[in-house]
């Protein structure tokens, strides 16, 4: 019975007290505020920070250790062959750990009421492929269909079992009941208001309800009922020839979503008509969604939830509102795009897991407007309301969702500095939004929520929902951190009021997570272009005297980002994905073309999941 474990609804009472407007039955607001202060006092981080580094090494503090959990090519299903980097085949790759691991989460086993910190499932995204690092002497012109098929099978997700032994080491368990690869070939369903719409029908799927696969799965989330949510992000780059689409509504939407006019970033359209917009103009409308599936059931059919909108979904994070409706937060990662929240019509049922199966198929999608006075509005994307009418090109709710970007722009939502991950703090109930950077913003289009022109370092916003209610349509917001080097006044940093000279320099916040004490953990993507160090992991208290005191825990290898991070249930292990090690280099006959030798000391580089833990098994946050 899975429902039991996932029944906790974190911090609803606390949030109400902090917002000063709600009280839980029998508990005074003062008592709740006292307990919030107690939690904050306890949130201080005690690890000795490391410094920026350009070494080709994963650096952590002296009393921490790093383990390799799994890497590209390792077996996932029981029948997976041994990895042979000199003979990649589509069939082998469909059974092995995929490329460029990004978001990951931990799903405890057995799924009982008490979460087991030592045994669970890892679900992990494989965002994209680097053919120049996967094949020796690769070039696009020489790419065969079999190579394209390897790439298609290296995308998607992996699900596998992990267990920690008495010495504290984690190991994957290949095969077993749960081992599963999801790829760009896995059959999926489109569900929700846009499913079946004419714009979603193609030559191979006249129903508009059946899709092959998922692509560019960047960040994601875990529902309270124990399913995976994964966001399809930069799906546009797999398609080609938007210039061959005749002028009209389809072309307009493709333009808004940046579909490539000639060849895209990948040569796949040479081998598959579905990636050629001139031949299958609607296939691209079947990507850019949030996909949900059950990691505990390897036969479950993934569903693309159209109610949550179509854009370059960074991830999708769920929070249960006091009345039981669920809110799903998701950013659209492109310069000047928007931050969104979906609120379900139905309520979460913690007693009956199956009752939540299609909760994400009906509800209201909102987009954020950050007002300069620190208030905010969630603007509903509802067909017929305001400008979302046929006169403006929106003939139905399905069209509002397929062209979410156009609808959000028509409503006057705030144009943001690349919305990446959004996560809810389990202690204070606030929502944190990572905005990675935006070098295209000028003085003319600055606003209070995106306050820096040429924002090279990115920032993080802290959002408080009205009355602490995640289904609210109003919110309050403030700047939590303006990233950069606090010792360089030209960067214009801000660390929640903390002394900038003492905070660690960081840039390009991307994926974020929380420990159970409410400290924010930040993974960066793109630091080497602005600061003298590789990407890394940073932690910062969100409450208490050290609110804003950023410390660096981890620095990753050359060319890589530590793309995503999550704690096991007792916070003693931080699982981290090392994505695109060696990017910028290539695997050729010349060893000097390789910029990193992670993780094996030789080509090929392998995207890898690592574990970071304290040497004596204490919580990573510090004992
Ligand atoms: Fe795949 Fe927005 O990072
Ligand atoms: Ca990301
Ligand atoms: Ca996250
Ligand atoms: Ca990233």
* Ligand 2 centroid – CA 220 distance (Å): 9
* Ligand 2 centroid – CA 338 distance (Å): 15
* Ligand 2 centroid – CA 205 distance (Å): 31
* Ligand 2 centroid – CA 419 distance (Å): 9
What is the Cα 446 distance to its own chain's centre? Answer: 26
* Ligand 2 centroid – CA 126 distance (Å): 12
Which atom from ligand 1 is nearest to the alpha carbon of 331?
2
Whether the pLDDT of residue 93 is over 80: the answer is: yes
Whether the pLDDT of residue 3 is over 60: the answer is: no
Please compute the mean of the pLDDT values over residues 152-162 and round it to a whole number. Answer: 98
333 lines ligand 1 (CB under 6 A): yes
Q: What is the pLDDT of residues 481-522, one digit of tens each?
A: 999 999 999 999 999 999 999 999 999 999 999 999 999 999
* 573-579, strands of its sheet edge to edge: 64-71, 608-614, 573-579, 561-567
Which atom from ligand 1 is nearest to the alpha carbon of 233?
1
pLDDT, position 38: 60
Helix (H) or strand (E) holding 29: helix 29-41
* Ligand 3 centroid – CA 423 distance (Å): 6
Burial of 197 (0-12, 13-18, 19+ CB in 10 A): buried
Domain boundaries, the chain: 2-233+288-614
Residue in 620, 548, 523 with CA at minimum distance from that of residue 46: 620
Residues with CB under 5 A from ligand 2 (ion): 218, 420, 510
pLDDT, position 43: 63
Please compute the mean of the pLDDT values over residues 63-73 and round it to a whole number. Answer: 97
314 lines ligand 1 (CB under 6 A): yes
pLDDT, position 113: 61
pLDDT, position 19: 30
159 - beta bridge partners?
123, 180
Residue in 124, 77, 123 with CA at minimum distance from that of residue 96: 77
Which ligand is located closest to the Cα atom of residue 565? Answer: 3
Half-sphere exposure in the Cβ direction for 465 (13 Å, CA): 29
421 lines ligand 1 (CB under 6 A): no
Q: What is the pLDDT of residues 403-436, one digit of tens each?
A: 999 999 999 999 999 999 999 999 999 999 999 9
Question: Hey, whose CA ends up nearest to atom 1 of ligand 1?
Answer: 218
Q: What is the pLDDT of residues 265-292, one digit of tens each?
A: 899 999 999 999 999 999 999 999 999 9
SS3 423: strand
Q: What is the pLDDT of residues 434-488, one digit of tens each?
A: 999 999 999 999 999 999 999 999 999 999 999 999 999 999 999 999 999 999 9
SS3 256: helix
Residue 14: pLDDT band with limits 50, 70, 90: very low
pLDDT, position 406: 98
Residues with CB under 5 A from ligand 4 (ion): 510, 525
* Ligand 3 centroid – CA 206 distance (Å): 36
* Ligand 1 centroid – CA 333 distance (Å): 6
233 lines ligand 1 (CB under 6 A): yes
218 lines ligand 1 (CB under 6 A): yes
What is the Cα 590 distance to its own chain's centre? Answer: 35
127 lines ligand 1 (CB under 6 A): yes
403 lines ligand 1 (CB under 6 A): no
Which atom from ligand 1 is nearest to the alpha carbon of 218?
1
All residues at 6 or more sequence positions from 534 whose CB lies less than 8 Å from its CB, including other chains: 52, 53, 54, 55, 527, 528, 555, 556, 557, 558, 560
Which atom from ligand 1 is nearest to the alpha carbon of 418?
2
Which atom from ligand 1 is nearest to the alpha carbon of 102?
1
Q: What is the pLDDT of residues 567-581, one digit of tens each?
A: 999 999 999 999 999
* Ligand 1 centroid – CA 266 distance (Å): 17
């Amino acid at each position: 019975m899975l429902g039991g474990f996932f029944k906790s609804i974190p911090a609803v009472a606390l949030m109400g007290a902090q917002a000063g407007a709600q009280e839980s039955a029998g508990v005074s607001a003062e008592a709740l505020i006292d307990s919030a202060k107690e939690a904050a006092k306890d949130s201080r981080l005690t690890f000795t920070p490391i410094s920026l580094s350009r070494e080709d090494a994963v650096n952590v503090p002296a009393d921490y250790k790093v383990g390799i959990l799994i890497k590209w090519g390792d077996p996932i299903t029981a029948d997976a062959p041994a990895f042979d980097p000199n003979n990649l085949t589509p069939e082998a790759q469909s059974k092995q750990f995929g490329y460029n691991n990004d978001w990951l989460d931990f799903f405890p086993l057995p799924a009982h009421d008490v979460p087991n910190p030592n045994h669970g499932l890892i679900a992990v995204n494989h965002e994209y492929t680097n053919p120049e690092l996967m094949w020796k002497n690769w070039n696009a012109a020489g790419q065969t269909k079999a190579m394209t098929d390897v790439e298609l099978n290296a995308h998607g997700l992996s699900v596998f079992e992990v267990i920690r032994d008495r010495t504290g080491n984690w190991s994957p368990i290949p095969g077993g009941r749960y081992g599963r690869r999801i790829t760009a070939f896995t059959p999926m369903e489109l569900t929700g208001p846009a499913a079946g719409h004419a714009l979603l029908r193609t030559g191979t799927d006249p129903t508009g309800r059946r899709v092959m696969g998922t692509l560019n799965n960047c960040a994601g989330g875990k529902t309270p009922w124990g399913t995976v949510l994964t966001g399809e992000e930069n799906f546009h780059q797999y398609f080609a020839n938007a210039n061959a689409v005749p002028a009209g509504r389809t072309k307009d939407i493709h333009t808004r979503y940046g579909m490539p006019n000639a060849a895209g970033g990948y040569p796949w359209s040479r081998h598959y008509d579905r990636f050629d917009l001139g031949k299958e103009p609607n296939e691209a409308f079947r990507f850019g969604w949030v996909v949900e599936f059950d990691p505990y059931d390897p036969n479950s059919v993934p569903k693309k939830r159209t109610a949550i909108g179509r854009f370059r979904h960074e991830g999708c994070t769920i929070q249960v509102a006091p009345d039981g409706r669920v809110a799903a937060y998701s950013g659209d990662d492109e310069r000047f795009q928007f931050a969104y929240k979906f609120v379900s019509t139905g309520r979460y049922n913690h007693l009956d897991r199956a009752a939540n199966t299609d909760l994400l198929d009906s509800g209201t999608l909102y987009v954020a407007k950050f007002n300069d006075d620190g208030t905010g509005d969630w603007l509903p994307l509802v067909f017929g309301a305001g400008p979302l009418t046929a006169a403006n090109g929106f003939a139905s709710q399905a069209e509002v969702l397929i062209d979410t970007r156009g609808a959000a722009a028509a409503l006057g939502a705030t144009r943001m500095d690349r919305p990446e991950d959004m996560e809810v703090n389990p202690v204070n109930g606030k929502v944190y939004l990572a905005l990675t950077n935006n070098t295209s913003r000028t003085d003319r289009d600055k606003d209070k929520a995106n306050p820096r022109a040429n924002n090279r370092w990115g920032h993080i916003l802290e959002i408080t929902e009205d009355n602490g209610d995640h289904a609210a349509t109003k919110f309050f917001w403030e700047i939590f951190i303006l990233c950069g080097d606090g010792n360089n006044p030209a960067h214009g940093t801000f660390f929640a009021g903390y002394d900038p000279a003492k905070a660690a320099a960081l840039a390009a916040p991307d994926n974020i997570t929380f420990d159970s004490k409410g400290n924010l953990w930040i993974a960066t993507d793109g630091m080497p272009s602005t600061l003298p160090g590789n990407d890394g992991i940073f932690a910062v208290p969100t409450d208490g005297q050290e609110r804003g005191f950023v410390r660096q825990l981890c620095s990753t290898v050359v060319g890589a980002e530590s793309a995503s991070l999550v704690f096991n249930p007792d916070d003693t292990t931080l699982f981290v994905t090392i994505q695109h090690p060696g990017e910028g280099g290539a695997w050729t006959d010349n060893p000097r073309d390789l910029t990193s030798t992670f993780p094996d000391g030789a080509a090929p580089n392998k995207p890898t999941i690592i574990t970071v833990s304290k040497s004596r098994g204490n919580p990573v946050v510090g004992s």
